[in-house]
Structure 1
Amino acid sequence: MTTALVIGAGVAGPVAAMALQRAGVDATVYEAHPGTADDVGAFLTLQVNGVSALRAIGAGDAVAGLGVSTPAMRFRSGSGKLLGEVSTGAALADGTVGVTLRRSDLYRALCDEAKRRGIRVEHNRPLVDARPVPGGVLAEFADGSTATADLLVGADGLRSRVRQAIDPAAAPARYVPVLNIGGYAPPQATDARPGQYEMVFGKRAFFGYLVAPDGAVWWFANPPRRDEPAPGELAAMTTAQWRSWLLDLFAVDNTPACAIIESTPGELSGWATYDMPSVRRWHRDRMIVIGDAAHATSPASGQGASMAIEDAVELGRCLRDLPEPEAAFAAYERLRRARVEKVVAQGARSSNSKAAGPVARVLRDAFLPLVLRKQGKKVIAWLHEYQIDWEAPVGVSA
């Protein structure tokens, strides 16, 4: 049986291991962290195309019931003026819509499902290097141990060690000029409909929130920051400093942002935004990168997790039908590159609109209602209606 090392146990890794298992490949997952990710202000969206991809390998039940159903979002200006409303994707045949869920809940659910299927997941195994050996790949870990297999899948995120092993001269991640911070506030009065995102283009920063079924308010903010923060700079900021800065940013807006931020308990901690517009080499010598390791997109796209899941499932199909890794990897890249790079570009545009200057802000607020009214609740078909047919054969010209 063909064997594989999967590096990373976030979203792409466990799904890749499950898809490979269905394709007849014995995969083991190696994760750098001792356990699942912590959950300080971290949530994400899983869109209908991501749910559909999970169902293609029989893993849809793993995420059923998690998170908050979020079928639509409304946009407002900092003055409180409604700019428009759009769908986050047409419901699947059974009525399932996109969901917002805690990042750690998604990681845990996918890892648990992989383990339930008999897939080994080893934590606290940071990858140091990977290189080809006769007939396969050898991985070296920080504890001095090694592992070999027929192929290696890098699902190790934005700072991928596998990407570096494939192409030591690969371009670094690109800084996107907004920061990210978020949290969970107690129930309170807002103008949000339950399960619907409220997105606010404030005068100084972007703010988004939704109300969960229990009344809690899940929120995030994107303070603009043109220059890339120095290493450790954001981590050194205290909760009091973050709170004070955010309250100052949103004090000029007619929104509930300040009340939500003031009422949020616990620590606040922010991070910088990066993406990967185009990774030159996705594969070499029986090694390949998927998910954020190949095409990280800014959170503004709302598609990071869904793209990673699609990647993993499509890779499984390719290796099932084209057992020679080089042919399978080439077919996989033909299936995925154009789609994911289009998503990354869309996410970058959305992030940059959040950091608009005074003139650009006026133009955005004037023209966005026209754009949103034209789109209305129509679905972006190429994005949300993407369906993977697991049974469909993959050819060399895929």
Structure 2
Amino acid sequence: MKPRIGIVGSGFAGLALAIALARKGHRPSIIEKRSEQQLLGEGLFVTLAPNGMNALRGLGLAEEALAQGVETRGLVLHNEHGRVLGDLDYRRHAQAFAAPSVTIRRGALGGILLEAARTEAVDIRFGAAVQAVTETDTEVRVTTDDGVETAFDILVAADGLRSTVRQRVMPDLPAPIFNGLQGSGGIADIPDIPATNGRMLMTFGRDAFLGYIKEENGPVYWFNTYRAGADSRPARDEDLARLLADLHRTDPEINRRIIAAADPASLRVYPDYDMPGLPRWSTARVVLVGDAAHAVTPHSGQGASMALEDALVLAACIEAEASPTGAFQRFETLRRDRVAAAVRLGRQGGAPKKAQGWLALRLRDLVLPLFVPLGQKAQERLFAYRADLHPLAPPD
């Protein structure tokens, strides 16, 4: 008999895991505190690296993601004066790694996964926040804020950086740590901004970092990162808009136009947290995946891709092992070193964004051209892994 599997969280890891399990004959259930409209309405975007796109390929969803996203053919890094500090060419990704990099709105990717989950008849409860988790030798019982209690043989915590399940079941684990950066971003229709030919153009400005990509006749996908306190968001939308304009006041003119075109009401602030390495990702019947286990900072470009990989690998481990403990141990063995490499890459990518003062900025401009090729090699080692083909094989 197949185990009863509950998944808390309908993010990328949770939905992808449910799809993969359903196709192996399981009947997983998802519990999600957000509404369906909130899931589909997420306005910011992610870039899926080739390894993430190949994980989607394992679910038969890669082509749909490419159709709804923007193929990302490279990254170009500039300083505040427009000098090129690094140029990463992604045009050969489709040939070298069997998939391109793709930038896609978070809500669009969530919608693709949600539709596939429903096609597989996955049970999804929206608007149900977890209040209690009780684990015994034989099952896990989850109580939600509507008073419903459900029993599972396996519970998967796919509920993000501030995982409620992790806090309830493993309260001794360290909490996320704010790393001194936060950011914003959006998708804006700005017809007179030139297309970037598939390249994400990035600027290390004097006071903030900004990146954007734009297809011909398409919107501008933009994001920024800046030094700030964890709870320093201005009280009013208009004040946040003015803050961003001030942070980018010495940027190239196109950057200033992008910030000026942002709708203040749509702006959000996203503090950047590091997740300390957790000593364990599971108990006897509960396992952490995605950001709940190993949050990867956005500077790595690997957060969504690692979540999708986790889903395919965990589904394969549950199918291959006779017990939850065996499945969880195998999953962690396969994933821990690989995720650690992505975390290191993200921290290295975030460090130059903290530079301030004339000397630090000049040193950054001298050092980055030397380190960008090394960073690209580290990226490509991550890109080469195929969770869709070999989910139970140790990554190189």
- TM-score with structure 2 setting the length: 0.91
Deviation of 1:109 after TM superposition, in Å, equals: 1.1
2:128 counterpart of 1:125: yes
Deviation of 1:266 after TM superposition, in Å, equals: 5.0
Match of 1:316 in 2: 315
Q: Is the 1:80–1:255 contact (alpha carbons within 8 Å) kept by the matching residues of 2?
A: no
Deviation of 1:96 after TM superposition, in Å, equals: 3.7
2:75 counterpart of 1:76: no
How is 1:1-398 mapped onto 2 (pairs within 5 angstroms)?
1-35=2-36, 36-37=38-39, 39=41, 41-88=43-90, 90-93=92-95, 96-190=99-193, 193-225=196-228, 227-229=229-231, 233-234=232-233, 237-265=235-263, 267=265, 268-358=267-357, 359-372=359-372, 374=373, 380-388=379-387, 390=389
Deviation of 1:184 after TM superposition, in Å, equals: 2.5
User: In structure 2, the residue corresponding to 1:2 is in which secondary structure?
Assistant: coil
Paired amino acid for 2:235? M
Q: % of aligned pairs identical?
A: 32
Deviation of 1:179 after TM superposition, in Å, equals: 1.1
User: In structure 2, the residue corresponding to 1:282 is in which secondary structure?
Assistant: coil
- Aligned partners of 1:366, 1:106: CA distance in 2, in Å? 38
Residue ranges of structure 2 left out of the alignment (5+ in a row): none
Greater helix proportion: 2
Residue ranges of structure 1 left out of the alignment (5+ in a row): none
Q: Is the 2:40–2:108 contact (alpha carbons within 8 Å) kept by the matching residues of 1?
A: no
Paired amino acid for 1:45? T
- Aligned partners of 1:390, 1:120: CA distance in 2, in Å? 27
Paired amino acid for 1:337? R
- Aligned partners of 2:337, 2:90: CA distance in 1, in Å? 21
- Aligned partners of 1:360, 1:261: CA distance in 2, in Å? 25
Deviation of 1:172 after TM superposition, in Å, equals: 0.7
- Aligned partners of 2:321, 2:157: CA distance in 1, in Å? 19
Note the alpha carbon deviations across 1:291-320, whole angstroms, 9 max, x for none: 010011111111111000000100011111
Deviation of 1:57 after TM superposition, in Å, equals: 3.6
Deviation of 1:194 after TM superposition, in Å, equals: 2.7
Paired amino acid for 1:304? G
Deviation of 1:390 after TM superposition, in Å, equals: 4.7
- Aligned partners of 1:144, 1:178: CA distance in 2, in Å? 38
Change (3 A) 1:392 1:179: closer
Paired amino acid for 1:84? G
- Aligned partners of 1:393, 1:102: CA distance in 2, in Å? 30
Deviation of 1:203 after TM superposition, in Å, equals: 0.7
Q: Is the 1:85–1:377 contact (alpha carbons within 8 Å) kept by the matching residues of 2?
A: no
Note the alpha carbon deviations across 1:30-85, whole angstroms, 9 max, x for none: 11112143646511111110111122243434524121111211000001111121
Deviation of 1:360 after TM superposition, in Å, equals: 2.4
